[in-house]
Amino acid sequence: MPQHNAFYAQSGGVTAVINASACGVIEAVREHGDQIGKLYAGHNGIIGALTEDLIDVSQESDENIAALRHTPGGAFGSCRYKLKSIEDHRTQYERLIEVFKAHDIRYFFYNGGGDSADTCLKVSQLAETMGYPIQAIHVPKTVDNDLPITDNSPGFGSVAKYIATSTREAGLDIASMCATSTKVFILEVMGRHAGWIAAAGALAGEDATQPPHIVVFPEVAFHRKDFMARVDQCVKDHGYCVVVVSEGARYEDGTFLADAGNTDAFGHRQLGGVAPTLAGMVKQDLGYKYHWAVADYLQRAARHIASKTDVEQAYATGRAAVEMALAGKNAVMPAIRRLGDGADYAWDIIEAPLEQIANHEKFMPLEFISEDGFYITDACRQYLSPLIQGEDFPPFVNGLPAVARLTLAKVEKKLTPFSI
């Protein structure tokens, strides 16, 4: 049986554990050297494939690859670039085939979220649409936890742990100073359409009498009067109020509280900062002294406090992607299946069809949000809690976490340049 080569790339916003998935893919490929030839990584995602900007992963040592498991960011570079349909941009697909042929690539592993799943699905159809045999497997990744079918998305558990931890610690800070200083603290977290990360902030306390006292979800229409009444009552009851708000909080008509008026490369609205927007409302309506913070990239880069469960699942999905490809699968994604909860929490990996994942989003079920819309339910807590369990601390050198430093050796180009 002839050995063909493989391509791996990372796409979209990176996470604390996307490199753990890369580690899983690479180590599995190396273990199957009798079936897969070389593994090339695309520099900056699918753009690396289009521009023939390939990295020879075989030049990396086993030690460096193992270190990816505790290294945040995207080791091979990521991108926000969505392939258009073959009808709209046939030349892109012709170029992909040209690059794949030039480097004998027959396996395609794409590590990303929902939009990346769409790209992977389109590549998987090259055999049908363009006559080129390739197997495309999507490796799940997104802090937003909005991929369907899979119980949870690799990357989410670690950001959930970071936000819950930060909320608990910041809550203690505010509580200690509220008598003479800040009364309201607002933490903005990621989550454009789904409030999973904001919900995870509620794990910081046992109930709404402990920080965070209020959670603002994208799934629940924002009403300023109701929010202010809740904040005011919280300050009167506890002396202070801690709020976790999703960046995608919106009004009844769907308008984001912090719409900046721009769109990103995937066509998503660019949001301009809901925390300062809410803080300004609090100052205007209630007059309380406030502070706000935006977790931003810190929440998705915090590998030092990653969830062990998340790291293990990210690595496992990477390995499973290779096993699925070798089993002849195409247009699928390794998905996490929950087998138990609480002390009996367990999981395994199942196969999910990409056509049911690409361009679909999983929102928080209404039964996960309290009736008043400002907190989580016990069912939500039961779902979230196992995902933040365990610690997988990276090694530390000179007081700082050690990370992989790859050589990123480039593959010699064989084709003429291509502009995207």
Q: Are strands 259-263 and 269-271 parallel, antiparallel or unpaired?
A: antiparallel
- Give per-residue pLDDT as tens, 338-392: 999 888 999 999 999 999 999 999 999 999 999 999 999 999 999 999 999 999 9
Predicted pLDDT of residue 264: 47
Q: Which domains does the chain have, with CATH numbers?
A: 4-142+304-359+390-401 (3.40.50.450), 156-303 (3.40.50.460)
Confirm if 144 and 192 have CB atoms less than 8 A apart.
yes
| The residue to which tokens 């690396």 are assigned | 48
- Three-state DSSP state, 347: strand
- Three-state DSSP state, 40: strand
List, in order, residues 6 or more apart from 412 with CB less than 8 Å away.
Answer: none
Predicted pLDDT of residue 86: 83
- Give per-residue pLDDT as tens, 203-255: 999 999 999 999 999 999 999 999 999 999 999 999 999 999 999 999 999 99
Indicate if 285 belongs to the active site. Answer: no
Catalytic residue among 144, 151, 310, 392: 144
Low-confidence ranges of the chain (pLDDT < 50): 262, 264-266
| C-alpha to C-alpha distance for 199 and 163, rounded to whole angstroms | 10
Question: What amino acid occupies position 263?
Answer: T
| The residue to which tokens 């200083």 are assigned | 181
11, 167, 183, 291 from 288: Cα distances, Å? 42, 20, 6, 10
Predicted pLDDT of residue 265: 46
Predicted pLDDT of residue 341: 86
- Three-state DSSP state, 6: strand
- Among residues 314, 398, 346, 335, the alpha carbon closest in space to that of 25 is found at 314
Known binding site for substrate: residues?
Answer: 142-144, 190-192, 247, 297-300
End-to-end Cα, the chain, rounded Å = 35
| C-alpha to C-alpha distance for 119 and 108, rounded to whole angstroms | 11
Known binding site: residues?
Answer: 13, 142-144, 190-192, 247, 297-300
Predicted pLDDT of residue 217: 97
Predicted pLDDT of residue 269: 54
